[in-house]
């Protein structure tokens, strides 16, 4: 089995149907959008979940998909160098 730490790394803190904040690029500029989780997949050997959201955006939790708007906006600011 997996240890509790391994499970926390593998299992995302969201489920299909939850609403999250995602970073999407619009005309090359990253923007924050509120969207519903449509799928959770595991596509590589690292077992990091990829979170798919409405509007064809997907990514890792804490990288492209966030629980809070503030966390998503902070990530965009980092991308833009603020």
Residues 16-47: tens digit of each pLDDT = 999 999 999 889 899 999 999 999 998 767 77
pTM: 0.82
Is 80 exceeded by the pLDDT of residue 69? yes
How far apart are alpha carbons 32 and 76 in whole angstroms? 8
């Amino acid at each position: 089995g997996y240890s509790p730490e391994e499970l926390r790394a593998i299992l995302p803190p969201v489920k299909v149907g939850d609403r999250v904040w995602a970073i999407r690029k619009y005309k090359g500029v990253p923007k924050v959008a509120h969207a519903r989780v449509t799928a959770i997949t595991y596509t590589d050997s690292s077992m990091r979940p990829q979170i798919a959201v409405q509007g064809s955006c997907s990514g890792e939790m804490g990288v492209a998909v966030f629980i809070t708007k503030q966390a998503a906006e902070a990530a965009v600011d980092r991308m833009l160098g603020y």
